Structure 1
Amino acid sequence: MKDRFDYGLNPEKLGAVSSYLCDPATAHAEFMLVKNQYQGETDRRAGHGALCYQIRQAFPHGEVTAEEGNRIGYETAMRWTKGKYQFFVCTHIDKEHIHNHIYYNSTAYDRSRKFRNFIGSSFALRRLSDRVCLEHDLSVIVNPKLHSKGRYLHYGQWLGENQKLSQKEQICLAIDTALTERPEDFADFLRRMETAGIEVKRGRGGAISFLVPGQQRAARFRASTLGDGYGPEDVQAVIDGKAPTRTATARKAPAPRRVNLLIDIQERMRQGKGPAYERWAKVYNLKQMAAALQYLKEHQLFEYDDLAAKTDAATEQFHTLAEDIQQTEAELSRVSDLMAAVVQYAKTRPAFDGYKAAKYSRKYLAEHEAELADYRAAKATMAELLGGEKLPKMDVLKEKRRQLAAQKKALYLEYRKAQQDMRELVAVKGSVDHLRGLTDNQRNKEQAR
């Protein structure tokens, strides 16, 4: 670490430096001190894995000064580490372009955790850096060139060629990656899953679940949840050499944070909010408009009419799916009620047959009044639900209920995706409409003047 840090602090290159929870001159020792305290408090190996991480952030020639670039780097590091890890930022001016070297400890300052370099972290970091630059009215890479060896793509290009990964897909990808590293045993496999950023949870009876960063609910480690070939038995077979190792596919980035609606600051001020709230709301709105701009670039929405048409289509799709779900749930409820009525009818039919054999005796009626009431209710329910149609067999009803339940589950997956798309587009369009309104107001003032 000291060799790396000395390079960053080289006075011939250094234009500005800033730090958080450490002194750059002694950062290597301070980082190790925290690691030793972490090892003493948790009995875990502090030196296992990466000791620290480095972020390099560059700016076009002449766009920022060394001090401005250093402030951008400091904000990027603070938002990336969430203030939980020591870091320092070295801004170099020895090249034609100003660039930052950001070094941060892999062990949290409060010794509560270690930083886990999760799948897709480079894409998430690039997204954060672009967001910070947009918020400070700086440029970001829009049409990048390929790496000299043709291996790396800019995040915008990459996102256009790949779909977002669900939690299940991220876990399966991590499993494939861990297995390609040939773990020695099942415990080693689980350690590799944790190294990849997947939290391993153990429940009652030894049940294992995986939790992806950013998700609230863990997914059970079993084939019925993750898919064929991704259960504990399948993984053990690969480790034992009884099954071939699967090839891990290209890693993908986590889903971006949803864009939110802007705050009506003037309305909130009329409601009694103070100057501090006004300052916070202005910064919040600026960040949301930067997020909206990033969304428009990534989705190639450069015409307002295209944005409006896509927003209307997303809204229509959302309402259509909501109606489909409502109809499916109604039909599922009807089939379930019909099955319950058929079961009740079959259970109480012998009581009615006995009542009929007793020639509708009052004594029999008094003895079996509750059963006969259930019989009449079940018969009336069946007649109402069937509507004159012939009663299907129970096996047919069970199969229909199973199909409707599967259809409902699939519709809800589409519904949640459509809801997210609609909310994002409505928020982005709202930001664009807000900016158009400001422009129109300025144009009207100039015309009146």
Structure 2
Amino acid sequence: MNPKKTDQGRLISGYQCDPPLAYKEFYATKQLYENLTGRRQERRKDVIAYLLVQSYKVGEITPEDANRLAYETALEFTKGDHAFIVCTHVDKKNIHTHVYFNSTALDATRKFQNLYNSYEVLRSINDRLCKEQGYYVIEHPKEKGKSYKEWSADKAGTSWKSKLRETIDAVLPSAEDFDDFLDRMRQTGYEVKRGKYISFRAPGQERFTRAKRLGADYTEDAISARLAGKQKPTPMQKKARRFFAENINLLIDIQAKIDAGKGPGYERWAKIFNIKQAAKTFNYLSEHGIADYAGLLDRMAAVTEDMSSASSGVRKLEGRMTEIGTLKKHIVDYSKTKKIFDQYKTSGWSKAFRAQHTEELRLRQEAKQAFDALGGGTIPTMAQLQAEYTTLLEQKKARYEEYRRLKDDQSELQTVRSNVDKILRVELPDRQRELERSRQS
């Protein structure tokens, strides 16, 4: 939860726990587990929490979406039965997320069974969610990573590969095209070899290093894509796009393209926009009564607002569930320390006795303060609290399903908007000329 890695804590979320106090809550659940079940694990053998890590290709996901996707993955993997925290790190070039989930279930009656194939279940959930939302999935994962020699060299800053990656990253922003990129690499002192694979060799290095060995972001295709990604629209293109976006009737324009199927503009348009995509986009806009770009943006804003409301509802329910968990712990502590407290009272409030039982009396006092905070009302029983917790859990699941549905709608809207934007980009020159002719007449 390092603030420097999580954008000052903004990229931290929790399920059924308060992230800053998660470790205390995890321990409290384990204590409750021991009291309820009578089972106890040796400290050195006990598992406090499990760690999951998700990582993404550079530039393919926002930190917020990475945090949300990790939350969804953890929730499905644990079936909502275990508290967890989600911490997304943005201190490295690739966004990645750490998830810690409590080994003890929320109701403190059982623990997570880490079977030999648990990782396969986790990978299946992760891959399916990523595919559904358009993120890259490793189809045939390799188990082998860096050798210890390479890892230690990277750590010490002496790896040829590490230095080559840094040089490429430094040179790319100023390069105009691929040939210019290679010239600039030579100017830094690297020897360049072209062949089936492009390779580089630094001064003093014995062998060439193939760029593809540096990782997916350093293949020739990836470098070319990074260079192409720097291109920005001209002021005229921005102006034309803005005019078109404000005036186009999306349904009429898309339907016209679908019906045309010929003409000088169609061939150019079809090269980057599939007719099936156009039909799918048209159907969505038609079904939801969206006739113009402004309407599309309004619907996106409405869905985002509804998502925020659903998310807020989930967090509110989680807050009460956390309160119930804390109150259950106090009830257990109060009952467990009754005998010690009675002995303390019989001793005449002996200081020596208190010194011998400081921890038990502290738990008793904290529980008493929690009960006093109820305002003199009847202290609920464990059964009542568990019943309320079960009800809240069902409400939370329903609310979260609503959030998931809205998220799917948002994802579909983003695809529709992307499709519409592709149409806008292709049609811009013609529309701009029409605008100029109308002004002249």
Q: TM-score, normalised by structure 2?
A: 0.37
Which structure dedicates a bigger proportion of its chain to helix? 2
Q: TM-score, normalised by structure 1?
A: 0.36
Larger radius of gyration: 1
